[in-house]
Every structure is written in C-alpha cells, then in structure tokens.
C-alpha cells in the first residue's frame, strides 16, 4: 500500500499505512479489499501485498468496504470527501461497485439523497448479505438504507436515528 501523506521514503512502509477497513471474500479468503485513507487497494495473496486501484470513481476516499461473499472480483465502497469535510462527494450520496477486480466502477444513486447530503458512512457502516444481493448502510446523520439488486437500488429504512457506527446482517444457517 501507499500512504500519500507520508514522506516519500516512508510512503510504502507497512507501519506507516492508514487502512480504514479491510474486507475479504469468504469464498476466496486470499482476496482482501482495503479502503485506505489514500484510496482503494486489493490483495489476492492474503494481504501479503496490495495493488492500488486507479479506476475512475467519484472519490477513492472513504471508510467502508464490503466484499462479495462468493465473487472475489466484486466489492462495494461509499465515496466521501477526505480531510477537510468528510461527507458525501458533491453533497450527493452514492454507492460504488466493482465487478471486475477494480478495473471499473459502477456508481449507484437510485434512492439515495442527491442534494444537501452531509452523510458519512463509517468503517463498519456497510454490510452485504450472505447471497451478495442485499446491502445495508448506515450514516453519521442517522440514516439507514437497504440496497437491493446488488446495491443498484436503495431505500431509506429510517432517517432519525443517532449516528450509526455499524450495520450487519444476521448469519444465515
């Protein structure tokens, strides 16, 4: 991984990294996705090494990542503005999904606020169900959403909760 705010000689030092969240694919545990302060990274060797993802996206900064439970090429991220503001990019909420290992990203906004949105999704504020079809997302402003169709469509379940630090689906038997 690379930490852009470190001096050049320390940028790749493993001790100087700032990972926000790691998520692995349960069906292929050597595939690990990382949402890092500096961007998005992916490992296919059990987190021994990481590749920085350079694909276009609203922002490669954020806190949350969810890995598909069966498809190691698929993961979801919630983009945000870093450092100075820490809220949704352009004050519009979005979810990003890659299905090709980070080569490209789809951006989904259907059902999410598209103006005056100052939500931020914390590290554990995004989860995917065991089928990889339904996502849950909670924000710092107490909004709770359900993302169906692999996160392509969202609906607000609640909008008046305290800040949401974690969401999780119950394990399936």
Provide DSSP, the chain: ---TTS-TTTTT-GGG--EEEEEEETTEEEEEEEEETTEEEEESSTTSS-EEE----S-S--S-EEE-SS-TT-EEE----TTTT-S-GGG---EEEESSTTS--EEE-TTS--SS------TBSEEE-TTSS-EEEE-TTS-EEEEETTTTEEEEEES-PSPP-B--PPPP-
Q: Please, how many CA atoms are within 13 Å of residue 42, restricted to the half-sphere of its CB?
A: 22
pTM exceeds 0.85 for this model: yes
CATH 2.130.10.10 fits 14-158, yes or no: yes
Mean per-residue pLDDT over the chain, rounded: 93
The answer, yes or no, to whether residue 172 has pLDDT greater than 80, is no
Task: Count other Cβ atoms within 10 Å, centred on residue 55.
Answer: 15
Q: How far apart are CA 153 and CA 151, in angstroms?
A: 6
Are the CB atoms for 101 and 39 separated by under 8 Å? no
Model pLDDT for residues 91-129, shown as the tens digit of each residue: 999 999 999 999 999 999 999 999 999 999 999 999 999
- Residue of 13, 20, 5 lying closest to 121 (CA atoms): 20
- Residue of 65, 66, 25 lying closest to 47 (CA atoms): 25
Q: How far apart are CA 6 and CA 173, in angstroms?
A: 45
Predicted confidence at residue 59, as pLDDT, reads 85
Give me the residue spans of the domains in the chain: 14-158
**Band of the pLDDT at 54, cuts 50, 70, 90?**
confident
């Amino acid at each position: 991984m690379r930490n852009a705010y470190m001096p050049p000689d320390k940028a790749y030092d493993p001790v100087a990294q700032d990972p926000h969240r790691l998520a692995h694919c349960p069906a292929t545990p050597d595939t690990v996705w990382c949402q890092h302060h500096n961007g998005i990274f992916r490992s296919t060797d059990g987190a021994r090494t990481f590749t920085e993802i350079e694909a276009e996206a609203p922002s490669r900064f954020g806190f949350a990542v969810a890995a598909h439970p069966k498809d190691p090429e698929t993961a979801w991220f919630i983009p945000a503005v870093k450092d100075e503001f820490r809220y949704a990019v352009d004050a519009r909420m979005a979810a990003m999904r890659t299905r090709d290992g980070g080569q490209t990203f789809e951006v989904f906004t259907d059902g999410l606020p598209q103006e005056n949105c100052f939500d931020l999704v914390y590290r554990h504020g995004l989860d995917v169900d065991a089928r990889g079809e339904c996502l849950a997302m909670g924000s710092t402003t107490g909004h709770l959403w359900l993302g169906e169709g692999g996160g392509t469509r969202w609906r607000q379940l609640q909008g008046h909760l305290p800040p949401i630090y974690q969401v999780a689906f119950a394990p399936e038997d």
